[in-house]
């Protein structure tokens, strides 16, 4: 059924992504590709993978942005993937029932055996979370590694999405955002976690944590040397500036 | 949005077919018509509808599963469109059979009206597939359903005028109804384009990333080196570069020429050539109009790639006036 669950899902599994920590290393995107190439959504097709114009299906993309913040500006790396929205428009537009949101944990999935590849769900998603697989003729998307997080063959510590396991800086956290006592809910509360494009009314489960404000200690380098530097450094600066 | 020819062809051809079914139902209600005319009009309409429906499956990854699209009418306008489109065949084919065997006029009228209602419902469902998408401000506009219905009616009226002329049947007031509908459609399209130009979208790269908390973000490093699905599907710029010229062409061929020819077709001496030329002109103009409808539409996902804010519009349900 492509109607959304009537009652709120018992759990709201999702990610909290800390833009303050992310260094844009692409470990999350490549580990996502690696796990899912053999998982539920396999194959995660590539076209011309070893040629001049490699292209393919990815569930996670890391963009780099520069923010003009009145000072010297800052670089922010921004991982973008499915937000497993409570009010997922990609689900309700699906004409076949292939797209669905699970009542048990809120994960949004595609049943590839039912998908007709009409692409309407990709039109309905504001975030570009869905990518069409030209070879398979069906829509693919982040599964929140549903075949990993519940996998009893894995050690309990490994039962989290591949992107979370792989992140070397700990910028990605996984948990139940429907439980106010969970670690991810606490992070959102304490760090001012927010929704992407709230004006679209999708009620995303995944949250983003903003980069921290800069303190006075992080003022531009030149003034740090001139105004706050050690007396010896000031003397050296003076000598070499002659 | 990258225009898919199969969808442009589907929406214009089936729009014309359902428009003709709608106009035919009113003509049948209005007066007794020769069976040959009704059957020919039904055949033309159902052919256009069927070609359109088949063409719409060409852009599917799995056309053989298309039947599944009939199942989710509770939530999906695309599914509702499929259900209404198929349901319309029932009374339309029954109408043909009733006319062919000379059934009582009450039966014919009942079937004609059922056909007309389902034809209009199908076009409305088609329009709502687009108008319900909040992500594409150019489509999430209450004028979009009005336009689809008016343009469908316009196509149907022009086709009906052509068929009446071909059968040497009197048109009565039909050319003047056509003039009124063409003028209304042109007026709504003008209001639509004006609304598009005036209004500002609530979404920006700032809201898409939440970085508006810090300042003004701009793209520094693209997420990938080649075009991906998103850029292929949503990153279409050609239409916008030539938009103003293409709009003028669309207005001329879809509205201007058909308007003059519809009026001219009121004169019996010019009926057939004028009606024929009007159909040809409108077909070209409407394909162009539909192409622009896709090409000019911007999707919010392009914000992540440094695209301009989606062409702004008022939201469908909340505004009036």
pLDDT computed for residue B316 by the predictor: 37
**Alpha helices (H) along chain A:** 27-36, 89-92, 120-124, 146-149, 162-166, 183-191, 221-228, 231-240
Residue of B nearest to A4 (CA): B75
Of B66, B216, B230, the CB nearest to A116: B66
Of B210, B224, B227, the CB nearest to A196: B210
Reply yes or no on whether the pLDDT at A25 is more than 80: yes
pLDDT computed for residue A80 by the predictor: 97
Of A58, A93, A116, the CB nearest to B61: A116
The span from the CA of A46 to the CA of B98, in Å, is 55
Residue of A nearest to B297 (CA): A123
Output A164 or B57, whichever has higher pLDDT. Answer: A164
Q: What angle do CA B132, B244, A127 make, to 5 degrees?
A: 35
A160: closest CA of chain B, how far (Å): 24
pLDDT per residue as tens digits for the range B288-321: 999 999 999 999 999 999 987 654 433 333 333 2
The span from the CA of B14 to the CA of B18, in Å, is 6
pLDDT computed for residue A5 by the predictor: 84
What's the average model confidence in pLDDT over B72-94?
97
Alpha-carbon B154 to chain mean position: 10
pLDDT per residue as tens digits for the range B100-115: 999 999 999 999 999 9
Q: How confident is the model at residue A154 (pLDDT cuts 50, 70, 90)?
A: very high
Residues of B in contact with A123 (CB under 8 A): 1, 133, 135-136, 233, 299
Question: Which domains are delineated in chain A?
Answer: 13-211 (3.30.70.20)
* Cβ–Cβ contact A53 with B under 8 A: yes
What's the average model confidence in pLDDT over A194-221?
87
What's the average model confidence in pLDDT over B124-152?
96
In whole angstroms, how large is the CA radius of gyration of chain A? 22
A25: closest CA of chain B, how far (Å): 11
Reply yes or no on whether the pLDDT at B226 is more than 90: no
A191: closest CA of chain B, how far (Å): 13
pLDDT computed for residue B142 by the predictor: 94
pLDDT computed for residue A224 by the predictor: 52
Reply yes or no on whether the pLDDT at A220 is more than 70: no
Lowest mean pLDDT among A121-130, B39-48, B113-122, B193-202: B193-202
Residues of B in contact with A98 (CB under 8 A): 68
Q: What angle do CA A204, A210, A212 make, to 5 degrees?
A: 165
φ/ψ (deg, to 5) at B184: -65, -45
pLDDT per residue as tens digits for the range B14-71: 999 999 999 999 999 998 999 999 999 999 999 999 999 998 888 899 999 999 999 9
The HSE-up count of residue B79 (CA atoms within 13 Å, CB side) is 24
pLDDT per residue as tens digits for the range B232-252: 999 887 666 788 899 999 999
Instruction: Give the DSSP H or E segment for B97.
Output: helix B77-100
Q: What angle do CA B42, B45, B49 make, to 5 degrees?
A: 135
pLDDT computed for residue B319 by the predictor: 31
CB A197 within 8 A of CB A7: no
pLDDT computed for residue B185 by the predictor: 97
pLDDT computed for residue B315 by the predictor: 37
Reply yes or no on whether the pLDDT at A225 is more than 80: no
Q: Is the ipTM of this complex over 0.85?
A: yes
What's the average model confidence in pLDDT over A139-159?
96
The span from the CA of A40 to the CA of A148, in Å, is 10
Output A42 or A161, whichever has higher pLDDT. Answer: A161
The span from the CA of B63 to the CA of B47, in Å, is 20
């Amino acid at each position: 059924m492509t109607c959304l669950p009537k009652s709120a899902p018992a759990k709201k599994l999702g990610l909290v992504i800390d833009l303050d920590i992310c260094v844009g290393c692409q470990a999350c995107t490549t580990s996502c590709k690696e796990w899912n190439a053999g998982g539920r959504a396999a194959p995660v097709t590539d076209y011309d993978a070893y040629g001049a114009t490699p292209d393919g299906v990815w569930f996670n993309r890391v963009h780099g942005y520069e923010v003009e913040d009145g000072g010297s500006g800052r670089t922010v790396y921004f991982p973008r993937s499915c937000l497993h929205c409570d009010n997922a428009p990609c689900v309700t537009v699906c004409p076949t029932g292939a797209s669905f949101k699970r009542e048990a944990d809120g994960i949004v999935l595609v049943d590839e055996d039912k998908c007709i590849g009409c692409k309407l769900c990709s039109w309905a998603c504001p975030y570009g979370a869905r990518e069409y697989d030209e070879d398979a003729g069906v829509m693919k998307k982040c599964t929140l590694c549903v075949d990993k997080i519940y996998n009893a063959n894995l050690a309990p510590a490994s039962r989290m999405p591949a992107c979370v396991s792989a992140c070397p800086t700990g910028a990605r956290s996984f948990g139940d955002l429907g439980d106010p006592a969970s670690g991810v809910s606490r992070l959102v509360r304490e760090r001012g976690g927010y929704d992407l494009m709230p004006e679209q009314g999708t009620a995303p489960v995944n949250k983003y944590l903003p980069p921290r404000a800069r303190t006075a200690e992080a003022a531009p380098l030149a003034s740090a040397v001139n105004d706050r530097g050690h007396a010896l450094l000031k003397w050296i600066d003076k000598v070499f500036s002659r | 949005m990258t225009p898919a020819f199969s969808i442009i062809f589907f929406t214009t051809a089936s729009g014309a077919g359902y428009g003709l079914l709608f106009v035919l139902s009113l003509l049948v209600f209005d007066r007794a018509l020769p069976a040959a005319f009704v059957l020919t009009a039904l055949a033309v309409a159902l052919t256009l509808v069927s070609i359109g429906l088949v063409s719409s499956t060409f852009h599917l990854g799995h056309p053989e599963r298309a039947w599944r699209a009939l199942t989710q009418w509770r939530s999906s306008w695309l599914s509702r469109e499929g259900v209404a489109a198929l349901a319309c065949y029932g009374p339309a084919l029954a109408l043909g059979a009733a006319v062919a065997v000379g059934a009582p006029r009450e039966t014919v009228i009942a079937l004609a009206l059922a056909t007309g209602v389902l034809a209009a419902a199908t076009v409305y469902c088609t329009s709502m597939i687009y108008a319900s998408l909040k992500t594409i401000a150019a489509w999430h506009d209450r004028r979009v359903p009005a336009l689809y219905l008016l343009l469908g009616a316009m196509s149907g009226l022009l086709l009906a005028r052509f068929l009446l002329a071909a059968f040497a049947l009197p048109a009565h007031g039909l050319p003047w109804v056509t003039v009124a509908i063409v003028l209304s459609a042109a007026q709504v399209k003008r209001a639509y384009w004006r609304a598009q130009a005036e209004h500002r979208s609530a979404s920006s790269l700032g809201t898409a990333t939440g970085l508006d908390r810090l300042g003004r973000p701009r793209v520094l490093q693209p997420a990938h080196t080649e075009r991906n699905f998103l850029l292929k599907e949503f990153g279409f710029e050609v239409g916008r570069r030539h938009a103003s010229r293409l709009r003028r062409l669309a207005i001329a061929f879809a509205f201007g020429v058909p308007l003059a020819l519809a009026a001219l077709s009121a004169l019996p001496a010019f009926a057939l050539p004028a009606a024929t030329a009007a159909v040809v002109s409108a077909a070209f103009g409407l394909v162009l109009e539909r192409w622009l409808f896709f090409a000019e539409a911007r999707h919010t996902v392009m914000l992540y790639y440094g695209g301009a804010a989606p062409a702004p519009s008022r939201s469908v349900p909340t505004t009036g006036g």
